[in-house]
Structure 1
Amino acid sequence: MNQSFKALVVEETEDGQFKRSIREWNIDKLPKHEVLVQVHFSSLNYKDALSATGNKGVTKQYPHIPGIDAAGIVEESSDDRFEKGDKVIVTSYDLGQNTPGGFGQYIRVPGDWVVPLPVGLSLFESMALGTAGLTAAIGVHHLKHNNVEPDDGPVLVTGATGGVGTMAISILAKLGYQVTAATGKTERESFLKSLGASSVIHRDKVQDQSGQPLLSARWAGGIDTVGGLMLDTVLRQTKQGGTVACCGNVLGHELHTSVYPFILRGVNLAGIDSGYSPMELRKKLWKRLASSWKPAHLKKISQSCSLEELNQKIDNILEGKQVGRTVVDLNV
């Protein structure tokens, strides 16, 4: 298909700098995978911002189109599971990293990456959720799988104003959990409570440097999005049999802790890998996100922008200024 489309393209200059621009890209330059999707919406994630600024740990070759999330309509498919006109979601795997991603009006991906849009979600809503929503849902799944229930006590969500944090609060609150939100942006307390947080605490109160192997038990469980000392502290504060699901490393990729939370309180530490989570789990959780787990405040959590407005949004997320989710509208 010799047709061009609009995309945010990141290029590496001769002096090793990276520049972003909106330009035309040809469909024939997309990888020769099975499913061609016309992208209607994407979303902005921290990994997208890294790719857009030349992080070779995320994207090895440039020029490149970032965007690890995409939702749209199948244009062509050699995979019998999909046909022209199907509404679909594609998140994570290699999309937007080394495979041209959702910041372009078309993607071509393997059929094994594609999830049918479940009944109960619009294309826009699926990207208001995006990888952040799926990541939060996997965290909630781990809590439920390990029998952490609303009656067991408060659940802590760290990095509460970020994409995963806001989604986790919204899902947990809808399921009846008492949620404590930890954030460095306590001026956002009213926003977090409007999503369902029962209380908001400053993140410094969840960073204990005393070195004590155990602390007073406060949390039935937690969803940690930042890692480092905060994750260590949450583990030491978790109640008997509790579960902490983790997915981030903003405060550091190393975890210094002791065995005591695990051998004296039976605490579970569950990792969240939304990038390569099994398709069976993905489909199950997307169906829940379209129904009983669907956040009640998707519009409040999300804001939309055009490709032309995306440059500033990328700068904002790198500077820690983004709150909630940014949906990229490829239709304008």
Structure 2
Amino acid sequence: MATFKAIRIDKAEKGTTAALVQFDEADLMEGDVTVRVEWSTLNYKDGLALTGTSPVVRRFPMIAGIDFAGTVESSTNPNWKSGDKVIGNGWGMGETHLGAYAEKARVKGDWLVRLPDGMSARDAMAIGTAGYTAMLSVLALENHGLKPADGPVVVTGAAGGVGSVAIAVLSQLGYHVIASTGRASEEGYLKGLGAAEIIDRNELSAPGKPLGKERWAGGVDSVGSTTLANLLAMTKYRGAIAACGLAGGMDLPSSVAPFILRGVCLLGIDSVMCPIELRKQAWARLSRDLDAAKLADITQEIALDQVIDAGAKVLAGQVRGRTVVKIG
């Protein structure tokens, strides 16, 4: 095809614009693998890019979307051949490299991960960057030495994409999961994922003391700011918090007290430039440790022409779980 459908973001006089357009294949960026995109997904970062709320996009015009799953159409990379099923996420897609909300993508083959056996392309995008980030957080906590016997773990932004997958995986591994949410109506949903307790996010969103009562051995935080500071202050001796998001802000109004008095560790999680071997490990674990039935329960599907509206909703906290985007 000479052209294909894509959501293009352009620089405007004030901010940016996003529109579904016909994109010329000749304008795809350099790469040694061309993929026929079949599924994508909607993440918080996608919402920021689509709405122009944050300067996520650093090249114009840009095809939005940081995740895709599909089939290799052509390749000059020795690791990939036509017909291979692949997952692509991060590496600047949708930011500095033309992204995933399109019927075609051209990328470096070194960015791609093979679709795990038994996992469909749709399921891979039901997991998406949010779920893959959640698993990177779990792996970091495990590498720190955290075990279910050490005590409860807390998950913030619990009804969101990262939070939903983190709860499902951690409960499957045997952890007692405390879910923090601002949506009391989601209690049934969160307990269905495996959360043992639900707490109101207001317990964590107000400025707190440098050290608080020890409440959890570890946690996964996608909120940042005061919430993360309070998580650290309430973490048990030699516990750890994996920080992977900034929905509440980029600041961290904390102190050194949790680190030097309780030996608490703050584990930074980066999904964008994560080394390929760790990516492979995360996707292999997701194929094993994420209950397929729970994944199906938290997933909704939209079409490519619904993505722009959905981007605003995810920022407004009106989307729970995971949203897959049918491209083909």
Decide whether aligned partners of structure 1 residues 186 and 55 sit closer, same or farther in structure 2, where only a CA change above 3 A counts: closer
Q: Please state how far the C-alpha of 1:208 moved relative to its aligned partner.
A: 5.0
Q: Please state how far the C-alpha of 1:57 moved relative to its aligned partner.
A: 2.5
**Does structure 2 retain, via aligned residues, the 8 Å contact 1:120–1:291?**
no
Q: Which residue of 2 aligns with 1:89?
A: 87
Q: Please state how far the C-alpha of 1:63 moved relative to its aligned partner.
A: 2.5
Q: Does 1:282 align with 2:295?
A: no
Runs of 4+ in structure 1 displaced over 6 angstroms? none
| In structure 2, C-alpha distance between the alignment counterparts of 1:72 and 1:183, rounded to whole Å | 33
| In structure 2, C-alpha distance between the alignment counterparts of 1:81 and 1:36, rounded to whole Å | 13
Gaps of 5+ in 1: none
Instruction: Kindly provide the amino acid, as one letter, of the partner of residue 197 in structure 2.
Output: S
Which residues in structure 2 correspond to 1:130-145 (within 5 Å)?
130-145=128-143
Superposed CA deviations along residues 310-330 of structure 1, whole A, max 9, x for unmatched, are 222112112221111110001
Q: Please state how far the C-alpha of 1:56 moved relative to its aligned partner.
A: 6.8
Q: Please state how far the C-alpha of 1:79 moved relative to its aligned partner.
A: 0.2
Q: Please state how far the C-alpha of 1:259 moved relative to its aligned partner.
A: 1.9
**Does structure 2 retain, via aligned residues, the 8 Å contact 1:171–1:295?**
no
Q: Which residue of 2 aligns with 1:147?
A: 145
Superposed CA deviations along residues 193-249 of structure 1, whole A, max 9, x for unmatched, are 101100111011123534x32111110101011011111111111111111000112
Decide whether aligned partners of structure 1 residues 220 and 30 sit closer, same or farther in structure 2, where only a CA change above 3 A counts: same
Q: Which residue of 2 aligns with 1:38?
A: 36
Q: Which residue of 2 aligns with 1:54?
A: 52
Decide whether aligned partners of structure 1 residues 56 and 188 sit closer, same or farther in structure 2, where only a CA change above 3 A counts: closer
Instruction: Kindly provide the amino acid, as one letter, of the partner of residue 152 in structure 1.
Output: D
**Residue among 257, 261, 265 paired with 2:262:** 265
Which residues in structure 2 correspond to 1:106-255 (within 5 Å)?
106-210=104-208, 212-255=209-252
Q: Please state how far the C-alpha of 1:55 moved relative to its aligned partner.
A: 5.4
**Does structure 2 retain, via aligned residues, the 8 Å contact 1:33–1:110?**
yes
**Does structure 2 retain, via aligned residues, the 8 Å contact 1:181–1:197?**
yes
Instruction: Kindly provide the amino acid, as one letter, of the partner of residue 241 in structure 1.
Output: R
**Does structure 2 retain, via aligned residues, the 8 Å contact 1:170–1:296?**
no
Q: Please state how far the C-alpha of 1:295 moved relative to its aligned partner.
A: 5.4
Instruction: Kindly provide the amino acid, as one letter, of the partner of residue 60 in structure 2.
Output: Y
**Does structure 1 retain, via aligned residues, the 8 Å contact 2:50–2:308?**
no
Q: Please state how far the C-alpha of 1:256 moved relative to its aligned partner.
A: 2.0
Task: State the secondary structure of the residue aligned to 1:177.
Answer: coil
Decide whether aligned partners of structure 1 residues 108 and 165 sit closer, same or farther in structure 2, where only a CA change above 3 A counts: same
Superposed CA deviations along residues 7-60 of structure 1, whole A, max 9, x for unmatched, are 1222334x3353332221121110121000000000011211222233573112
- Taking structure 2 as the reference length, the TM-score comes to 0.96
Q: Which residue of 2 aligns with 1:324?
A: 321
Task: State the secondary structure of the residue aligned to 2:236.
Answer: strand
Counting matched residue pairs gives 328
Task: State the secondary structure of the residue aligned to 1:167.
Answer: helix
Q: Please state how far the C-alpha of 1:138 moved relative to its aligned partner.
A: 0.8
Task: State the secondary structure of the residue aligned to 2:63.
Answer: coil
Q: Please state how far the C-alpha of 1:260 moved relative to its aligned partner.
A: 2.0
Decide whether aligned partners of structure 1 residues 208 and 50 sit closer, same or farther in structure 2, where only a CA change above 3 A counts: closer
Q: Which moved more, 1:43-52 or 1:239-248?
A: 43-52
Gaps of 5+ in 2: none
Instruction: Kindly provide the amino acid, as one letter, of the partner of residue 136 in structure 2.
Output: I
Q: Please state how far the C-alpha of 1:114 moved relative to its aligned partner.
A: 0.6
Task: State the secondary structure of the residue aligned to 1:297.
Answer: helix
**Does structure 2 retain, via aligned residues, the 8 Å contact 1:289–1:295?**
no
- Taking structure 1 as the reference length, the TM-score comes to 0.95
Identical-pair percentage: 42
Q: Which moved more, 1:290-299 or 1:72-81?
A: 290-299
| In structure 1, C-alpha distance between the alignment counterparts of 2:17 and 2:258, rounded to whole Å | 47
Q: Does 1:314 align with 2:278?
A: no
**Does structure 1 retain, via aligned residues, the 8 Å contact 2:59–2:95?**
no
| In structure 2, C-alpha distance between the alignment counterparts of 1:52 and 1:147, rounded to whole Å | 38
Task: State the secondary structure of the residue aligned to 1:125.
Answer: helix
| In structure 1, C-alpha distance between the alignment counterparts of 2:30 and 2:226, rounded to whole Å | 44
| In structure 1, C-alpha distance between the alignment counterparts of 2:63 and 2:91, rounded to whole Å | 15
